[in-house]
Amino acid sequence: MEFRLPDSIKENFWKLFFIVMLFVSIKTLFYDWEVQYYGFNELDDYGSLSFALIVGALESALITVFLLWVFSKLLKR
């Protein structure tokens, strides 16, 4: 199964994605995972950081697609 985005979403996706990614990453890393308390002495800490960033990127992609879909529906009216 292939998921294709409309051209209107493709044009603006990367412009909005980095902004959403910044806010989601700050929230995830500092408030949910509390990375500032990690020692980064073990490989496990780096794995947790990478996992948090990957989950944040996937969440940002979903939020971005949803926002662009809502904006396109609102502008059609």
- pLDDT one-digit tens code per residue, 16-69: 999 999 999 899 888 888 877 877 788 888 888 899 899 999 999 999 999 998
Distance from the first to the final alpha carbon of the chain: 31
**Looking at residue 33, what DSSP letter applies?**
S
Residue that wins the pLDDT comparison between 18 and 5:
18
Whose CA is closest to 21, among 51, 53, 45, 49? 53
Predicted confidence (pLDDT) at residue 71 exceeds the cutoff of 80 = yes
